């Protein structure tokens, strides 16, 4: 089918050139015939395609009845979000989200998971919250003078202080934080 325009154009050129004995007229007629053949071929292909696609839709429709029905009004949350969160962690997450939104520094008492030898297990730290996830948050720790990832459930107490901060443009959140990025507790859920 893709050679049809060339063949039609060549035949029209030869016939017209032989009948009129004018080569350029034969060329023009052959060119026109080739172009018309392309246009007609494309229209036919389009009709066949639309006929096939509508036929395919008709033949697939009965299969839709076999699919399981999913309630549209039920929104399912991922299983890891459904687990029960203790009230203390909810309060801490709420306070961390307040600090993050207002860009205010927090003073926290934090229980370290693996303290270095000679270090106390619970330390008081001033932190600037850069990113807040489901179970972890990234913050600039003024005690260590670097950005650290903290576990929300290990924050024993937290208090907002008046100092403010700016998140650096080059800050890149850790994967611990981005897995649950943007989960902020509703204030009504805290009571």
pLDDT above 70 (res 180): no
pLDDT in tens, 53-103: 555 444 444 444 454 544 444 444 455 554 567 888 889 999 999 999 999
- At residue 107, the 3 state secondary structure works out as strand
Which DSSP symbol is given to 167? -
Q: Which of 14, 11, 10, 31 is nearest to 22 (CA)?
A: 14
Domain range list for the chain: 4-60, 81-190
pLDDT in tens, 106-130: 999 999 888 888 888 999 999 999 9
Calculate the CA 20 to chain-centre distance.
66
pLDDT in tens, 13-50: 778 777 777 777 777 777 777 777 777 777 777 676 66
Q: Which of 68, 96, 102 is nearest to 177 (CA)?
A: 96
């Amino acid at each position: 089918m893709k050679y049809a325009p060339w063949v039609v154009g060549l035949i029209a050129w030869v016939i017209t050139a032989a009948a009129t004995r004018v080569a350029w007229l034969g060329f023009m007629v052959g060119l026109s015939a080739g172009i018309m053949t392309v246009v007609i071929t494309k229209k036919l292909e389009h009709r066949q395609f639309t006929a096939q696609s509508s036929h395919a839709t008709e033949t697939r429709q009965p299969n839709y009845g076999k699919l399981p029905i999913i309630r549209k009004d039920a929104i399912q949350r991922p299983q890891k979000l459904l687990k029960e969160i203790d009230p203390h962690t909810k309060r801490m997450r709420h306070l961390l989200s307040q600090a993050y939104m207002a860009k205010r520094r927090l003073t926290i008492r934090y229980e370290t998971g693996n303290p270095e030898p000679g270090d106390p297990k619970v330390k008081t730290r001033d932190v600037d919250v850069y990113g807040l996830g489901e179970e972890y948050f990234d913050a600039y720790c003024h005690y260590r003078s670097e950005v650290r990832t903290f576990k929300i459930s290990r924050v024993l107490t937290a208090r907002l202080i008046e100092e403010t901060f700016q998140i650096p443009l080059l800050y890149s959140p850790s994967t611990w934080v981005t897995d649950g990025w943007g989960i902020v507790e509703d204030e009504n859920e805290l009571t």
